[in-house]
Amino acid sequence: MKGVLFFLGSIFRWPIQNTKDFLIFHAYLLGIYGITFLLRNIGLEISNLIFTIGLIAPIAYLVYNGLPLDCLDYKSAIKRELSSLN
């Protein structure tokens, strides 16, 4: 339960601590939704594939750039956050 509460708190702190990253992330998601909507209105069947690739691409990019394997372990996340405060 502590881990869930920690990550929930991190989600609420993220927009305030990293406003630029938060806005870029949401602009990217809106762009993917917009492209998918336009492709679907045009009648192309590839819109679902574009949507799926668009949502998986940021995760693949993070893994490629060395996303730590313990990124969802709340004890190591707490240690990283406390060390970044100092």
Reading the chain (86 residues) residue by residue, the pLDDT tens digits are 666 777 777 778 778 878 898 899 899 999 999 999 999 999 888 888 999 999 999 888 888 888 776 766 777 777 877 776 66
Looking at residue 32, its pLDDT comes to 94
Question: Does the pTM of the predicted model rise above 0.75?
Answer: no
Per the structure, how many domains does the chain have? Answer: 1
Q: DSSP letters of 29-55?
A: HHHHHHHHHHHHHHT-TTHHHHHHHHH
- Rounded CA-CA distance 41/23 in Å is 27
- Rounded CA-CA distance 48/39 in Å is 9
Domain extent, residue 20, equals: 2-85
Looking at residue 85, its pLDDT comes to 64
Taking a C-beta distance cutoff of 8 angstroms, is the pair 6, 77 a contact?
yes
Looking at residue 80, its pLDDT comes to 75
Q: Which two tokens stand for residue 30?
A: 């809106």
Taking a C-beta distance cutoff of 8 angstroms, is the pair 3, 78 a contact?
no
Looking at residue 39, its pLDDT comes to 92
